[in-house]
A = this chain, B = another copy of it.
Amino acid sequence: MAIERKSKQRDAIINELCSRFDHPTAMDLYLSVREIIPNISLGTLYRNLTQLEENGMVLRIPDGSTDRFDGNVNPHAHFKCTTCGNVYDLMNFNINSLTFSDEIINKVTNYSLMAFGLCKNCNKIN
């Protein structure tokens, strides 16, 4: 549904999401936003994330486990290390050059590219 009114809870969520670059889960965000609004509820957080996503203000990043969120709504590629679980932005990959031409498609509104593998940090350790 459309956003009709402003709320300090939603403002705090967007603000937190846009000022960090580590692709937090809903619970990560909940813990952070609670330092600004101590009695915000998880339900409110989830309601707002869904609403913000529907309005194109937040990106949901599916990675095979708990969803992550991104304040950068420009489509961009991600890399998930399957050892440590961290998700990184891929700066050297120009996702905007991708085009889709299949018969079934009427319109592409968004896309998510997730590469899986081993990051250099985990490679050093093991």
* Interface residues in A, total, Cβ within 8 A: 38
- State the oligomeric state as a number of copies: 2
Of the 9-residue stretches A6-14, A28-36, A103-111, which lies at the interface with chain B?
A: A103-111
Q: Within 8 Å of chain B (Cβ to Cβ): is A22?
A: no
Which of A79, A103, A114, A115 has the most B CB atoms < 10 Å from its CB?
Answer: A115
A113-B110 contact, Cβ under 8 Å, with A88-B102, A92-B101? no
Are B116 and A110 closer than 8 Å at their CB atoms?
A: yes
Are B119 and A105 closer than 8 Å at their CB atoms?
A: yes
Are B100 and A79 closer than 8 Å at their CB atoms?
A: yes
Q: A109: nearest residue on chain B (CB-CB)?
A: B117
Are B116 and A113 closer than 8 Å at their CB atoms?
A: no
